Amino acid sequence: MPNLHNLLPGEEICPGCGTLFPTSEGPTHAYIGASAGCWAVFGEVVAREYSDFRYGAIHQLTVDTYAVQHPGEPSRRARQSVALHLISLYLQLERGYGPERARDALKRAADSGKDYAWLDSPARIGELSILDVYKAKTPEEHSQLVEEWARSVWKSWSLHRDTIQEWANM
């Protein structure tokens, strides 16, 4: 994580991923805890994934990973978001679900009406960030980086694995 004392004017650290971004006055998400600069980069990556079919298979993993790397503050919407995206990561990375099957399971979990508990987030959530994915030059490199990023973020959340597995089994 960058040292706060070494920040240059016009730079900020994203509160979710800890990555340094140019300071931005742009929009952020209502309950995902990302800086405006990080949120803008995520938007660019998602636009790339939507604009080229070669990225389609990795999109669910991108969204899930970003959401749980930026858990935000405890609130009903943030709790639900983190829980559902952690369930999806668990299903994809540990049970081998494909993106469509993971989306279906995520929808069932969302429709269940369950009020998921807030999980305390790890001190550092993953070694990579959306900025690493953004720098990919090819669809293959992009997919590889998303996979590495997702595994790194999932490993960070492993202290809650039993709870997440229980939620996925409901």
Return the domain boundaries, the chain: 4-168
State how far the alpha carbon of 92 is from the alpha carbons of 11, 71, 86, 150, in Å: 35, 19, 10, 10
Residue numbers in the chain where pLDDT is lower than 70 = 1-9
What's the DSSP call for residue 169?
T
CA distance 15 to 28: 12
Q: What is the pLDDT of residue 25?
A: 86
* Three-state SS at 135: coil
> Computed from CA positions of residues 13, 41, 73, 100, in that sequence, does the dihedral angle turn out positive or negative?
negative
- Please give the pLDDT value at position 56: 86
Task: Supply the pLDDT for residue 70.
Answer: 98
Residues 38, 16: Cα–Cα separation, whole Å: 9
User: What pLDDT does residue 9 have?
Assistant: 60
- pTM of this structure: 0.92
